[in-house]
Amino acid sequence: MGWKMLKTDKVSLLMPTLVQLMFFGGVGILSTLVHLAIVIGLVEFELMAPFWANPLAFLIAFFVSYYGNYYLTFQIKTANRGYMVKFFATACLGFVLNQSLFVLLYQYFGVNYQIALLVTLGTVAAITFVLSKCWAFKVLEG
């Protein structure tokens, strides 16, 4: 009986993080679709090269991600610029990782830009969740 109680306690402790992860995933999917649609649209209609389309798409997807995570994933109830500043720093780091990995895969390894973009976005999303949960959207005191 003690093991069963312990197991239930562990699950109940993990539930908030699992729910956040689900919302983060949903917001991430939405912002990723926005990102992908913009890059692919700009490249396929020959309006912009992939190297320029990717940063532009990142900036637009940033706003989808920030507001989705602020209101849904982490359900922040207070207005505080600290969240925006920290999330912007997280996003900037994510952008540097995003662009670096994308260029590495696309230019140096010759991976198709769509495949390179999907691999890049998935990798950066995992890193961004950890930073968002543990730092950017951590409940501020005071």
Instruction: Identify the pLDDT of residue 13.
Output: 65
Contact 54, 95 (CB under 8 A): no
Cα separation, 114 vs 104, in Å, equals 13
Query: What string of DSSP letters covers the chain?
Result: -HHHHHHHHHHHHHHHHHHHHHHHHHHHHHHHHHHHHHHHHHHHTTSS-HHHHHHHHHHHHHHHHHHHIIIIIS---S--HHHHHHHHHHHHHHHHHHHHHHHIIIIIS---HHHHHHHHHHHHHHHHHHHIIIIITSPPP-
Cα separation, 106 vs 129, in Å, equals 24
Instruction: Identify the pLDDT of residue 8.
Output: 54
Residue 111 — φ and ψ, nearest 5°? -75, 140
Could you read off the pLDDT tens digit of each residue along the chain, which spans 142 residues?
444 444 555 556 667 888 998 999 999 899 989 999 999 999 999 999 999 998 899 889 988 999 999 999 999 888 788 888 899 899 899 889 989 999 999 999 999 999 999 999 889 988 989 999 999 998 754 4
pTM comes to: 0.70
Instruction: Identify the pLDDT of residue 120.
Output: 93
Residue 61: CB atoms within 10 Å: 24
